Amino acid sequence: MRSVMLVDDEPLIVKGMQAIIDWDQNNMEIVGTACNGLEALSMMDGGPVDLIITDIMMPQMTGLELIRETKARNPYTKFIILSGYEEFQYVREGISLGVENYLLKPVNMEELEATIKHMQRDWEHEEMRQIQMDQSWRILRNNILQRWANETIDAKEFRERAQLLEIPMNKSTYCAASLRIVGDDQGDDPQMYLPGITEQCEQIGNKDLPDGCGIICFPDQEGDIMLLFVSAGTEGNDEWQIQALTRMKQAVTEDTDARVWGIIGQSESTYLGFPKSCKSVKLWLKNHLFMDCNTFIMQVENEEEATNQHQKKPGPAMEQFHKLLRDGEVTEVDRFIDEFFNVEGKELCLARTPFFNSAIQLMLAAKELEKTPDYGDIFGPLSRIHTLNKLKQLVRKVVHRTLDTYHTAEKTYSPHIMAVLEVVKNHYQDELSLKTLSQRLELHPNYLGQLFQQEVGTTFSDYVNQYRIERATHLLLYSDKKTAEIAGEVGYWDSTYFYRQFKKYAGVSPTELRSIYMKK
């Protein structure tokens, strides 16, 4: 079933479009409505839609801007424009953007339905061409498998696609597994070749399997190779799964010279349980850090083990660390970090949360020394870290960068700039501008702007935004306030603008930040 989004700032138009066409009869489903382009884009963060029917003139983002932005993200989305404007410039630009039709309000329903029928024929032809090409067939299968694993596909659509793509649905056991490839900092990233590696794994894994058993491999959006183990037997012997995963793991290690970890999830009795098995694997990976061993294979026995935080780690001695930072004792700082991240024993993996939380505490402590902290180099890399050693390296890198600048000669600001910095510190939640401040200081705004950039090393607007994001970061990490409330407290009255600025300066969204920093 094709997905449809309606975008118009007139609610009556949207309601009318929902009711006047039999969408089910046309094998289509309205998955969302929006009153402007920005709202529509945010709704598509969870995935693209097949068809967008949009007005042109809307607040915040026009329909034409929405089309351009959406096509940059997903060139396969189709568009129909509904407009009250017959001006040639809109028609011409709509045609240049490749829209399916440009219809004037009030809409001629026969013409609209004819346009939809035409698009359906185009979709059918496109699907046939893709299926006839082996690579396109594999891409389509990977997409269906990803949506199946994430439970983002309609049951009826999955059954139809599974039959076409030879995904088994009548086996007695279904089990998910994952191969995570972790390359070194030097050389090529193995994940660049993930599609080819995945195809190779499937070929190797399916050799010498017991009768009735099979393996399907597909890459997921996090860069892991996901595996579907199926079996027609009911004896519950999973030894063949371990043997096949070992063969694939060894082949990937030899080809990429990278560390490879294999995780096997829970077995389920029907294809409906495969997403649950996938979740158990991904949850286990999310909750653990690995030691720097070469390769290993582990089995997730049950959901309780998947969430087991078996490694208890007390937090760092922050008062001591703050003193070392202020004293600038780099050798002692490094010794402190090394000792904290030193783990005795022979464990292959550790609970991620306590180590991540402690690492963030240490890096934020260093950032507090900076006048204009940039949080992008903290939170951006965290999602790509899977080993304890890499986490330690990130902490040392961030701390060293701060100490290199902090313990140089202190800058002496002019009285005018000191006054500006004091205003930002005490009134960052208010509307601030160089024009207003220049009037208070009796300076020309252009001169004040040049003086600020010369002494502080950044523009006034960047400094204000960085300061606000710093305050927002502390509220996100150390309070339970909602994101919209925090945005207002630090001076952003438009939540959408706050999200954009936060992602720009911190490297992750507010939601992602809180997800990374899971509270103990």
Range of the domain at 399: 318-406
CATH number of the structural domain spanning residue 454: 1.10.10.60
CATH number of the structural domain spanning residue 151: 3.30.70.270
- The answer on 153 and 101 residing in a single domain is no
Residue 1 structure tokens: 């079933």
**Alpha carbon distances (Å) from 40 to 7, 114, 132, 274:** 7, 25, 33, 31
Q: What domain count does the chain have? A: 4
Helices 434-441, 415-427: crossing angle, 10 deg rounding:
130
Task: Answer whether residue 313 is part of any domain.
Answer: no
Helices 445-456, 434-441: crossing angle, 10 deg rounding:
100
- The answer on 212 and 105 residing in a single domain is no
Task: Answer whether residue 103 is part of any domain.
Answer: yes
- The answer on 298 and 167 residing in a single domain is yes
Domain end call among 306, 338, 367: 306
> What local confidence, expressed as pLDDT, does residue 236 receive?
55
- The answer on 153 and 121 residing in a single domain is no
Task: Answer whether residue 311 is part of any domain.
Answer: no
pTM: 0.56
Residue 116 structure tokens: 């939809």
CATH number of the structural domain spanning residue 98: 3.40.50.2300
- The answer on 273 and 225 residing in a single domain is yes
Q: Going residue by residue through the chain (520 aa), what tens digit of pLDDT does each one get? A: 899 999 999 998 899 888 888 898 888 999 999 999 999 999 998 888 999 999 988 998 989 999 999 998 888 899 999 888 776 777 778 778 888 888 888 888 888 888 988 888 888 877 766 655 556 678 888 999 999 999 999 989 999 889 888 899 999 999 999 998 876 554 455 566 788 889 899 999 999 898 889 999 999 888 899 999 999 875 556 789 999 999 999 898 888 888 888 899 988 999 999 999 999 999 888 888 887 665 567 777 654 544 444 445 677 888 888 888 877 778 898 999 988 888 876 677 788 888 888 888 898 888 877 776 767 777 778 777 888 888 999 999 988 888 877 655 445 678 888 888 889 888 989 989 888 898 888 888 899 889 988 888 889 999 899 889 888 888 887 788 899 999 999 999 888 899 988 888 888 888 888 877 654 3
What φ, ψ does residue 298 adopt, rounded to 5°?
-130, 155
The full DSSP string for 326-395 is: HHT-HHHHHHHHHHHH---S--SEEEHHHHHHHHHHHHHHHHTT-SS--THHHHHHHTT--BHHHHHHHH
- The answer on 258 and 160 residing in a single domain is yes
pLDDT digits (tens, 9 = 90+) for 15-62: 988 888 889 888 899 999 999 999 999 999 888 899 999 998 899 898
> What local confidence, expressed as pLDDT, does residue 41 receive?
93
> What local confidence, expressed as pLDDT, does residue 277 receive?
93
- The answer on 298 and 201 residing in a single domain is yes
pLDDT digits (tens, 9 = 90+) for 207-237: 989 888 999 999 988 889 999 999 987 555 6
Task: Answer whether residue 23 is part of any domain.
Answer: yes
- The answer on 288 and 223 residing in a single domain is yes
HEC letters along 238-281: CHHHHHHHHHHHHHHHHHHCCEEEEEEEEEECCHHHHHHHHHHH
Position 92, amino acid:
R
Rounded (10°) CA dihedral 254, 260, 261, 263: -70
- The answer on 33 and 118 residing in a single domain is yes
- The answer on 325 and 362 residing in a single domain is yes
Residue 354 preceded by cis peptide, ω within 30: no
Task: Answer whether residue 385 is part of any domain.
Answer: yes
Domain end call among 110, 130, 150: 130
Taking the C-alpha atoms of residue 366 and residue 372, their distance in angstroms, rounded to an integer, is 12
How many other C-beta atoms lie within 10 A of the C-beta of residue 211?
7
Task: Answer whether residue 471 is part of any domain.
Answer: yes
Name the pairing type of β-strands 225-231 and 214-219. antiparallel
Task: Answer whether residue 158 is part of any domain.
Answer: yes
CB-CB contact of 4 with 51 (8 Å): yes
> What local confidence, expressed as pLDDT, does residue 274 receive?
94
Task: Answer whether residue 312 is part of any domain.
Answer: no
Taking the C-alpha atoms of residue 361 and residue 343, their distance in angstroms, rounded to an integer, is 19
- The answer on 286 and 192 residing in a single domain is yes
Domain end call among 79, 108, 130: 130
> What local confidence, expressed as pLDDT, does residue 368 receive?
79
In 3D space, the residue among 258, 482, 300, 301 whose CA is nearest the CA of residue 387 turns out to be 258
- The answer on 446 and 300 residing in a single domain is no
> What local confidence, expressed as pLDDT, does residue 95 receive?
79
- Vertex 484, ends 481 and 489: CA angle to 5°? 75
Taking the C-alpha atoms of residue 141 and residue 202, their distance in angstroms, rounded to an integer, is 13
